[in-house]
A and B are shown apart, each in its own frame.
Chain A
Amino acid sequence: MWLWFAKLGSPKWFYDVSDRWLPWLAGAMALFMIVGVIWALLFLPPDYQQGLTTRILVIHVAVAGTSLAFFPLMAVAGTITLVWKMKLADMVAKNAAALGAWFSFVTLATGSIWGSVMWGTWWEWTDARLVSMLFQFFLLLSVVALRSAIEDTDKAAKACALLSIVGCINVVIIKYSVEWWNVLHQPASPLSMSSDNANGPEFWMATGVMIIAVYLFFIVSLILTTRNEILQREKRSQWVQDIVRAA
């Protein structure tokens, strides 16, 4: 049981395996991204209330949903860092924070643009969904700042791991804010084929493709930045020097 876990923690193993997987993942991402974006932005039929403005929501929902994955990922990686001192976990977590901040920013921007047309306001400080999302944006930026403020890599990893575990609570708040409190933001729509789904298939299918595309983008970006991080931190090891010499 612990053998594969130890193997998984080896940067060299991850570097080799990700090398094999990357073309497939990147190819799938490109496919879903092209289909999703063209479908959502050019061919989605106008909604009977919103007209063409509904197309923004396909991007918004996909990016927003993915942005909620960052803190749980960083918290799991952080726990592994704290308990098992696995180097790879922290290499994954390091760049996730900045990436997550971008996802949160795009979520806030697309949401604001949609809201300015549909709600009649760009921003409402009293809406728990909006404010908790902004809070996540700032929290992710503070993880980035905390990391760069501490020079010692191990100490920075530990501090960031703790902050990531704390940040997970906010994800729960974002998710359930629309159910627990009265807010302007609409609740989540079901993404299923069941008859309970009052949404037309043209909407949830386009959104589904976009969600897969954005998730793949998140995974591919994370693998690429992690590989960079591995090369940088393991630069003294023999196998990295071999790679550099070969290239």
Chain B
Amino acid sequence: MKRHRKRKLTVIIFIALGLSATVGLTLFALGQNMNMFYTPSQVALGEVGVGQRFRIGGMVKEGSFFSAPDSLKVKFETTDYVHAVPIEYEGILPDLFREGQGIVAEGSVDDKGVFSASRVLAKHDENYMSQEVKAALDAAGTDEAIQILQERSSK
């Protein structure tokens, strides 16, 4: 390679490296602000102040869902399997919402640690399965098999 070309290439590589480092450090400095939501553990350990608006993301705890018979009010707990945070919400839930499903809720916590949500979104994981396969697995009583698969892929 000719000398002036080598010099140009070196300059380009330095520009690319310098920019990458700048962007990398900026993103690192932004830290928690780059996250869309706090986890239930972060909320339970008091990382977010009372009354402050934020989003919380976790799984809907099995057996924690209650809905009022005469209104759209619902209560459930969201968990990351370490800590659970109770959530109150009034409104329409997305189709994917159910126990064991990942959700993101927007709102704030009161001094009793109850999160009152103004919006609830459903998360979808990276696994897809046809209704037929799911039905076959359920019929064979191998719900555990799915869980093992899902746990393995989430690691």
* Residues on A facing B (Cβ under 8 Å): 45-51, 54, 57, 79, 82-84, 117-121, 124, 126-128, 162, 165-166, 168-169, 172-173, 180-184, 186-190, 196-200, 202-203
- In the assembled complex, B132 has its CB within 8 A of some CB on chain A: yes
Q: Could you tell me if B129 and A119 are in contact, using CB atoms closer than 8 angstroms? A: no
- B residues in contact with A79, CB < 8 Å: 9, 12
State how many angstroms separate the Cβ of A43 from the closest Cβ of chain B. Answer: 11
- Known A-B contacts A166-B19, A196-B153; A184 and B127 likewise in contact (beta carbons under 8 Å): no
Q: Could you tell me if A186 and B152 are in contact, using CB atoms closer than 8 angstroms? A: no
Which B83-128 residues have a C-beta within 8 angstroms of A? 93-96, 104, 120-128
* Residues on B facing A (Cβ under 8 Å): 5, 8-9, 12, 15-16, 19-20, 23, 27, 34-39, 55, 57, 93-96, 104, 120-135, 146, 149-150, 152-153
Q: Could you tell me if B37 and A182 are in contact, using CB atoms closer than 8 angstroms? A: yes
Listed A/B pairs (21) with beta-carbon separation below 8 Å: A45-B132, A47-B130, A48-B135, A50-B128, A79-B12, A82-B8, A83-B9, A117-B95, A120-B120, A120-B121, A124-B121, A128-B34, A165-B12, A169-B19, A182-B36, A183-B35, A184-B123, A186-B124, A186-B126, A196-B153, A203-B128
- B residues in contact with A182, CB < 8 Å: 35-39, 57
Q: How far is the CA of A199 from the CA of B152 in the complex (A)?
A: 12
Most chain A CB atoms below 10 A, which of B37, B94, B127: B127
Q: Is the interface of A mostly helix, strand, loop or mixed?
A: loop
- B residues in contact with A186, CB < 8 Å: 123-126
State how many angstroms separate the Cβ of B26 from the closest Cβ of chain A. Answer: 11
